[in-house]
């Protein structure tokens, strides 16, 4: 198990310990939450990470080098180098050394192109991580603000959907339907199927949250609740922008013309090495060519690995760890407000409207009306639906 998968397991273990301390906290069913976190842990892929103190270990570790991408070009170049060194007449090999000057010129331009390629891939990798971090921060902010503004019971559907949002984002970026077990305890089985069948799963979550917030504001009817709902909608817009940033990076590789031109001249340069320097290097030509080819093809392989880091490759993000982290943060927020008095913002309306009897009449048996259908607030059985 990789270090990132270990992080997922540690978070899951910590959260399991917390379930016993919540004393009837209704935001999550403990068994369903354990099943959900276990499903996320089991789906975490093996990531390659380096430790700063293990310098030699990083050099000798072959995991995460994307060797499958560079294997075939490297083999072709080495075979050609061996064949040229073995079969080319010595006189021809010596005359071919006149190409060394031309190869040196191409080498300078090629080095610039490779450095630019790798730099752009590293920039995209960092931008993707920034967007993922912003998504996590927005989920935290929305969960806390919604609970403080809408009250514990009124905001439960929002918290559930915010915990489901990273799972939906993971599925969408990886172009998979996803596992219904990773949504256990958050939505009903019918809503889980509806979410997983949606063309854009994150938008399904965003629409459901937006509709729940607007419906709550309309039911309360005061200017204060309308203002609070407006703030929540703006925070929800920010969450959509962060998801859109990851979507843009995932769906927009570097232009084909640049990558194709780079790879053509990279292969031309590597195949020209044994021809231009075979008469000088002699039987050391295959070894020298193999090392140079591995170095340059490795740069291209690293760029390919990092430019869209949302799949399940060794250097890609552990999206399951992000899902577990948001789940833990939302659970902590729910526990805090569950064990504290209702915030002043929720008690600012008239005493009649916010009396316990009136709230029970409004919320019924734990369901809030959203877009004409009922939205599960206090349970996730088959009879409750989050369908917007």
pLDDT at 1 (0 to 100):
43
Q: What is the mean pLDDT of the chain?
A: 81
* Domain-wise residue ranges, the chain: 1-48+69-341
Burial 81-90 (b: 16+ CB within 10 A, else e): bbebbeebee
- Write the pLDDT tens digit of every residue in 84-132: 888 888 777 777 777 888 888 888 889 889 999 999 999 999 999 999 9
Q: What is the SS3 assignment for 91?
A: helix
- Write the pLDDT tens digit of every residue in 237-273: 999 999 999 999 999 988 999 999 999 999 999 999 9
Q: What average pLDDT score do residues 188-213 get?
A: 95
pLDDT at 28 (0 to 100):
54
> Which candidate, 209, 196, 189, places its Cα nearest to that of 168?
196
pLDDT at 342 (0 to 100):
53
More confident of the two residues 170 and 277: 170
Backbone torsions φ then ψ of 271, nearest 5 degrees? -70, -25
Backbone torsions φ then ψ of 370, nearest 5 degrees? -140, 115
More confident of the two residues 165 and 57: 165
State how far the Cα of 320 lies from the Cα of 347, in Å rounded to an integer: 37
- Write the pLDDT tens digit of every residue in 35-48: 999 999 998 888 88
Q: What angle do CA 204, 208, 213 make, to 5 degrees?
A: 150
More confident of the two residues 18 and 264: 264
State how far the Cα of 252 lies from the Cα of 134, in Å rounded to an integer: 20
The DSSP symbol for 178 reads: -
Alpha carbon distances (Å) from 354 to 11, 59, 336, 342, 344:
38, 65, 21, 11, 12
What share of the chain has pLDDT > 70, as a percent? Answer: 80
């Amino acid at each position: 198990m990789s270090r990132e998968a270990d992080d997922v397991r540690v978070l899951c273990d910590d959260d399991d310990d917390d379930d016993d301390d919540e004393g009837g906290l209704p935001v999550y069913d403990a068994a369903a939450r354990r099943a959900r976190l276990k499903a996320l842990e089991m789906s975490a892929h093996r990531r390659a990470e380096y430790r700063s103190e293990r310098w030699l270990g990083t050099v000798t570790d072959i995991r995460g080098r994307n060797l499958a991408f560079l294997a075939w070009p490297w083999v072709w170049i080495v075979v050609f180098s061996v064949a040229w060194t073995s079969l080319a007449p010595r006189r021809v090999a010596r005359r071919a050394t006149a190409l060394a000057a031309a190869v040196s010129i191409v080498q300078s331009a090629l080095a610039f192109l490779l450095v630019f390629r790798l730099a752009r891939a590293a920039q995209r990798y960092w931008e993707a991580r920034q967007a993922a971090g912003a998504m996590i921060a927005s989920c935290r902010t929305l969960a806390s603000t919604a609970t403080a503004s809408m009250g514990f019971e009124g905001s439960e559907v929002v918290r559930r959907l915010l915990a489901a949002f990273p799972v939906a984002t993971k599925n969408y970026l990886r172009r998979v339907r996803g596992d219904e077990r990773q949504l256990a305890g958050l939505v009903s089985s019918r809503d889980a199927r509806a979410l997983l069948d949606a063309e854009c799963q994150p938008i399904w979550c965003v629409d459901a949250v937006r509709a729940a917030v607007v419906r709550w504001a309309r039911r309360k009817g005061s200017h204060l609740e309308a203002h609070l709902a407006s703030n929540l909608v703006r925070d929800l817009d920010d969450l959509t922008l962060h998801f859109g940033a990851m979507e843009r990076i995932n769906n927009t590789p570097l232009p084909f013309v640049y990558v194709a031109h780079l790879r053509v001249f990279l292969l031309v340069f590597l195949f020209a090495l044994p021809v231009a320097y075979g008469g000088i290097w002699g039987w050391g030509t295959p070894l020298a060519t193999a090392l140079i080819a591995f170095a340059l093809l490795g740069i291209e392989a690293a760029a390919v690995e990092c430019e869209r880091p949302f799949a399940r490759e060794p250097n890609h993000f552990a999206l399951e760890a992000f899902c577990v982290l948001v789940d833990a943060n939302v659970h902590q927020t729910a526990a805090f407000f569950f064990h504290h008095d209702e915030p002043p913002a929720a008690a600012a309306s008239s005493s009649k409207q916010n009396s316990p009897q009136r709230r029970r009449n409004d919320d019924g048996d734990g369901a809030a009306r959203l877009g004409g259908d009922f939205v599960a607030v206090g349970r996730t059985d088959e009879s409750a639906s989050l369908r917007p």
